[in-house]
Homo-oligomer: A and B are copies of this chain.
Amino acid sequence: MNRTLVGIIMGSDSDLPVMKNASDVLLQFEVEHEIRIVSAHRTVHEMISYGESAKERGLEVLIAGAGGAAHLPGMIASLTLLPVIGVPIKTSSLDGIDSLLSIAQMPSGIPVATVAINGSSNAAILACQILAIKHQEILSKLEVYRTDMRSKVIASAEKVQEEYDAKRS
């Protein structure tokens, strides 16, 4: 996939430690993407440009992370018809319940696909699942990912079972 399909945005570089997990997952799936700092409150016009041009620039899914009174995902969603995935970022005071509610509780007409608090890697997987309904090669990679995930749990399960049974015998 040579075209940039996913835009990962956040309001401040202080969100990078959480949001780069989304990038890491997309790299693993070989999905071209971009990371951008776009602030709903501090660079409104840049946000509007970003949201309104996202589709014509060829992006197909957006991932927006934000914390506290988290307005970026919902505002971006109002500026594009692309599906927007919102990542509520854990906050120092209220642990991210403020972020979760500010992102999930959108009014009728403008949905945001909300994932778990700090769930940026899941946001990337969800982006791949969305892309996979159109891009067959991403679907194949998702199948491998699922199989690997399952294999890892089974391997871990066997290891735990062996260790436990050894202790018992």
**Residues on A facing B (Cβ under 8 Å):** 11-13, 16, 23, 34-44, 46, 48, 60-61, 67-71, 74-75, 77-79, 81-83, 85, 90-98, 100-119, 121-123, 125-126, 129-134, 139, 142-143, 145-146, 149-150, 153-154, 156-157, 159-161, 164
Contact = CB atoms under 8 A, between A and B. Distances in A.
Number of copies: 8
A13 B121 contact: no
B126 A83 contact: yes
A43 B97 CA distance: 27
15 contacts: A11-B153, A37-B161, A38-B157, A41-B77, A75-B75, A83-B133, A91-B105, A94-B101, A98-B102, A100-B104, A101-B101, A104-B117, A106-B122, A109-B125, A134-B134
What 10 pairs across the A-B complex have the smallest Cβ distances? A113-B113, A37-B157, A111-B122, A111-B126, A68-B105, A41-B78, A98-B101, A134-B134, A93-B117, A102-B102
A102 B101 contact: yes
A81 B35 contact: no
